[in-house]
Amino acid sequence: MNKDLALKISIILLIILVLSFISVIILYPDIKLKGSDITINYQEKYKEPGAYTTRFKRKIKITNNINYEKLGTYQVVYTYKLGFIKKSKKRNVTIVDKEKPTITLDGKQEIDICPNKTYEEDGYKAIDNYDNDITDKVKIDTKDDLITYTVSDSSGNQTSIERKINKIDKDNPKITLKGGSVTLYVNNKYNEPGYTASDGCDGDITKKVKVTNNINNKKAGTYYITYEVSDTSDNKVTVKRKVVIKNKVVSNPTPNNTVTKPSNNSGKKGVIYLTFDDGPSNYTSEILQILKKYNIKATFFVTGNGSDSMIKKEYDEGHTIGLHTYTHDYAKVYSSIDNYFADLQKVSDLVYKITNTKSHFIRFPGGSSNTVSKKYTAKIMTYLTKEVVNRGYKYYDWNVSSGDANSGCTTSSIYANVVNNLSKSRSNMVLMHDTKKATKDTLEKIIKYALNNGYQFLPITDSTPMVTHRIFN
């Protein structure tokens, strides 16, 4: 009986113990989270939504291991202790990056380039809020005239930006005319002074210039030469040059019967124009010395056969420089009108180069009365004597010949030829050659005679009338 009772009591006690243990487990408070797992954006702060205990109010300890610098999933842990029992709950907090990177372009977003050029990248930069500089991850896609720059950050956020390339040439080419407007006399040939054309895209397009010239040089008037050019994009530009053709009435030079007879042009009476042809030569320097000694200014009709510095000296010492052709080669200068003018231009350019002055005084090789030119071109002197005047030159023959070009001439023959033919009743255009030793040796004597006899020496100037011969060809 005692044994049974003891057993019963122990069973009851055990049941009570188990029941109370179970009830403690059941009745023990739980943790409840406000809200659930949370996702926040990079650089946002996590805001704690809180948690609470069921049945009894208990203080909950909250801890987390969030690293805001790094994307990922972190835990917030909620715990409390009651007696020997500890309870805890966890909340997941995930930091994500949803922000797109940005691409910035250097240069404009819309660019005009020449149609014949390829676009050279102006540059770009890609920046991401999380990855920082991701320029090296930019992918470039070119399709026709559109360039697309695309970049993705490490979270897969993608950005695209476009640049438009317009292959277009909006600018007109440019034509530059050498020289300005041109004035000519009737029958003068128009010589194109030249031009250049350039284009921003095509470069030098001078060869594409179309020149329209409707000059009628037989008729006085104002004309325009049109220069037109288009670039490969059909931008067209037109410029004009004014050409004025003037009438210049020129009578035939008054014919004279002999070369020593005075021209009808009345120059200054009692004046001597000493003229020296064919130089400079080795004698020119001494001739200049003599002229300087008597303070006499003369005229030198130069060729291209002498020294430039001597022409410079003649000019610097106040003498007039005239043009006698460059080569003085009859076979050449009288072979055609064009050849004459080409040769004349050559000596004119030479004189201009040396003296910076354009001479418009001419002496024809052999004089305008020469017949040697007949051998090369019929009637050439008839034409040239008019045409040089049309072109603004004045030509001077002579009415006193020293004969210093004749074979067998001597200082005394030269002296006699000059002094016997001087006249006080007209101007005296004296032909000499500074290429002749005898001339150099006679010059001072001639000067002394002239000065003792009341003559005056002058160089040819603009106001000196032409002295012209009769034309025989």
Residues of this chain that bind Zn ion (CB under 5 A): 277-278, 365
Q: What's at 397, amino acid-wise? A: D
What is the Cα–Cα distance from 410 to 439, expressed in whole angstroms?
A: 9
The residue (of 93 and 431) whose beta carbon lies closer to Zn ion is 431
User: Can you read off the two tokens belonging to residue 463?
Assistant: 């106001």
Backbone angles phi, psi at 331, to 5 degrees: -60, -25
The residue (of 237 and 405) whose beta carbon lies closer to Zn ion is 405
CB of 193 to Zn ion, least distance (A): 31
What is the Cα–Cα distance from 440 to 415, expressed in whole angstroms?
A: 11
What is the Cα–Cα distance from 218 to 183, expressed in whole angstroms?
A: 14
The residue (of 202 and 277) whose beta carbon lies closer to Zn ion is 277
Q: Which of 452, 430, 427 is nearest to 439 (CA)?
A: 430
- Residue number of the CB atom closest to Zn ion: 277
CB of 204 to Zn ion, least distance (A): 45
The residue (of 197 and 432) whose beta carbon lies closer to Zn ion is 432
| Integer CA distances (angstroms), 175 to 170, 172, 203, in order | 16, 10, 12
The residue (of 99 and 329) whose beta carbon lies closer to Zn ion is 329
Given a contact cutoff of 8 angstroms between Cβ atoms, the answer to whether 311 and 302 are in contact is yes
CB of 280 to Zn ion, least distance (A): 13
DSSP H helices in 249-372: 284-293, 308-316, 330-333, 337-355
**Cβ partners under 8 Å of residue 37, min gap 6:** 91, 92, 93, 94
3-class secondary-structure state, position 102: strand
CB of 459 to Zn ion, least distance (A): 18
CB of 208 to Zn ion, least distance (A): 47
User: Can you read off the two tokens belonging to residue 149?
Assistant: 């720059």
The residue (of 253 and 365) whose beta carbon lies closer to Zn ion is 365
CB of 178 to Zn ion, least distance (A): 34
What is the Cα–Cα distance from 112 to 48, expressed in whole angstroms?
A: 55
CB of 345 to Zn ion, least distance (A): 18
The residue (of 267 and 365) whose beta carbon lies closer to Zn ion is 365
Backbone angles phi, psi at 62, to 5 degrees: -115, 125
CB of 431 to Zn ion, least distance (A): 9
The residue (of 147 and 431) whose beta carbon lies closer to Zn ion is 431
